[in-house]
Amino acid sequence: MTDPSGAQADDGLSLEMVMAALRADSSDIAIYAKVLTDTLGDSLPADCLSIERNRSMSDRMQNRPGTVTKVSVRLGEKNLTLGTKKGAPVAEICHEVRGIVLSRSQVPIAEWAAELARGLVAHAEQNAQAATALRRLVAGG
């Protein structure tokens, strides 16, 4: 349940706390990939999270996963993508309905993280497993 502003879940999980946890090292896409897969991956719907990697020949020969180049999170009608372009992070928010992109905006990483936090908190309000995962994220574990 939320308060009238919609920012606080009754279990003490707040939008501000999730946003602060997501802002840590926000320019490092590999960190986001690790947080989203390790902390939240099991609690998000199976088709909600995708990670693209660039695997060099050395990575393949040594069976390493490669360097994360793009993280995409689909929450409802929003698709939030964090990638790199010429080595710099690029954040994008798309509004899609039934596979059709209605709008696409390149945004600052802080805005992307805030939108991701809002989506994760909304998802956690409907899913106990997601709420537990978000509490782990906020607690730093």
Over the stretch 41-86, which tens digit does the pLDDT of each residue have?
A: 666 767 788 888 888 999 899 998 888 788 888 888 899 998 888 7
- Measured CA to CA, the distance from residue 108 to residue 53 in angstroms comes to 22
DSSP per-residue letters across 120-140: HHHHHHH-HHHHHHHHHHHHT
The answer, yes or no, to whether residue 95 has pLDDT greater than 90, is yes
Report the half-sphere exposure of 113 (CA within 13 A, side-chain side).
Answer: 22
- Measured CA to CA, the distance from residue 104 to residue 118 in angstroms comes to 18
Domain that holds residue 79: 17-131
- Measured CA to CA, the distance from residue 130 to residue 113 in angstroms comes to 17
pLDDT for 104:
93
Q: Does a structural domain hold residue 1?
A: no
Q: Does a structural domain hold residue 140?
A: no
Number of domains in the chain: 1
